[in-house]
Amino acid sequence: DAGVIQSPRHEVTEMGQEVTLRCKPISGHNSLFWYRQTMMRGLELLIYFNNNVPIDDSGMPEDRFSAKMPNASFSTLKIQPSEPRDSAVYFCASSPGRDQTEAFFGQGTRLTVV
């Protein structure tokens, strides 16, 4: 398996633009997670899906952020409109069961909003 695949790897956008990050989890994994990593705040959970259903979105910072998982092999995280403070590395991870006892992370998307 190729592991968790994220695209793009790098994104530079202007403030106010819409940004869409994409994730393909490992085939057969039931759970998918979006995390954001910054120096100041570390790794923060944004949202968690189980069997394509959002279970916990309490980490989504505000209405500008939205996430979808239309099927078991694809998820998106959208920021609209983007702001400079959204600059971070966004990681997608998947795990085979309901419990995240072992999570597999993608290589991340480095987002820079100027």
Partner 1 sequence: GQSLEQPSEVTAVEGAIVQINCTYQTSGFYGLSWYQQHDGGAPTFLSYNGLDGLEETGRFSSFLSRSDSYGYLLLQELQMKDSASYFCAVLHQAGTALIFGKGTTLSVSS
Contact residues for partner 1, defined by CB under 8 A: 31, 33, 35, 42-45, 48, 50, 55-56, 91, 93, 98-108
Say whether the peptide bond before residue 8 is cis (omega within 30 degrees of 0): yes
Q: Which is nearer to partner 1, 48 or 65 (CB)?
A: 48
CA separation, residue 96 to residues 33, 57, 71, 72, 103 (Å): 12, 20, 15, 12, 8
Instruction: Provide the minimum distance between the beta carbon of 111 and partner 1 in the complex, in angstroms, as a whole number.
Output: 15
Instruction: Provide the minimum distance between the beta carbon of 81 and partner 1 in the complex, in angstroms, as a whole number.
Output: 27
3-state secondary structure of 52: coil
3-state secondary structure of 84: helix
Q: Which is nearer to partner 1, 44 or 83 (CB)?
A: 44
Q: Which is nearer to partner 1, 65 or 91 (CB)?
A: 91
